Amino acid sequence: MKPFTRLGLLTFALTFSMLTQAADKLTLLTENYPPFNMSIEDKNFARSSGIDGISADIVREMMKRAKINYSMTLRSPWSRIYNMTRKKSNYGLFSTTLTEERKPLFKWVGPLVENGWGVFKKDGSQIQISSLEDLKKYKVGGYKGDASTEFVKSHGIKVIETALDKYNAEKLESGRIDLWISSRFTSSHIAETAGVPAPVAIHNLKNVDLYLALNLNTSDAIVKRLQAALDSMKKDGKFDELMNNYL
């Protein structure tokens, strides 16, 4: 065999190996949604070790067990990274609420953790509600693109949406909105980040599960490996250990 032919075969093999590794690498996106995923420095952009939270730690352990190469980036707003994940192969997004509307748009691994949606008011407010219908009497704030906001809107309720959820905490405190649709786990963390008092929960909306959502072009083999890794974590106690670090 001629030398240049051997070199050509070697180059082809290396190129094929690099392309295969690239195809197996996942680009994971997340946002500030404490305590599930958040920037350690409370910034709107972070990478890798600058990100923590229940879901972030669970996802890292999943990747380790499944032996999948990945990168993790935190950025905002949610609508941007949501649409990016829908469009780009081998992209993933967490923590994502699995809804019937979203189900066919991604491949899903989970559940990572349970979340609960609620209606919140400013501490000291006299507002009381007993149903979703009661929300129509008030100025209601929600996070743009979030499943909780979409849920409320689907019931015919007008929602004043913001690009960052901390703005809702600020608007609630200043009286620019009367009520805030948020998570019972995240609302106090978001308010603290915004530098305002924690809101008061007055009505539970729905309990939901949070997942890792993967672009539809992600291979089924990767999805199965990640789900198997998560299932093994729940069996051997690692999942509960990671949860207990935050809750």
**What is the per-residue DSSP string for 38-50?**
EETTS-S-EEGGG
Tell me if 239 is assigned to some domain.
yes
pLDDT, tens only, 18-37: 444 445 799 999 999 999 99
> Has residue 149 been placed in a domain?
yes
Q: Which amino acid is at 77?
A: P
Give residue 216's pLDDT band: very low, low, confident or very high (50, 70, 90): very high
Name the token pair of 26: 């996942």
pLDDT class for 17, splitting at 50, 70, 90? very low
112 compared with 20, residue with greater pLDDT: 112
Alpha helices of the chain — where are they, by DSSP H? 3-24, 54-66, 78-87, 147-153, 166-174, 187-194, 220-236, 238-244
Q: How confident is the model at residue 246 (pLDDT cuts 50, 70, 90)?
A: confident
34's CB contacts (< 8 A; 6+ apart) are 53, 186, 189, 190, 193
Rounded to an integer, the average pLDDT of 234-239 is 98
Question: Residue 100 sits in a domain of what CATH number?
Answer: 3.40.190.10
Regarding whether 128 and 92 lie in a shared domain, the answer is no
Q: Letter for the amino acid at 6?
A: R
Token digits of residue 5: 């032919």
Which domain covers residue 234, as residue numbers?
Answer: 14-113+210-244
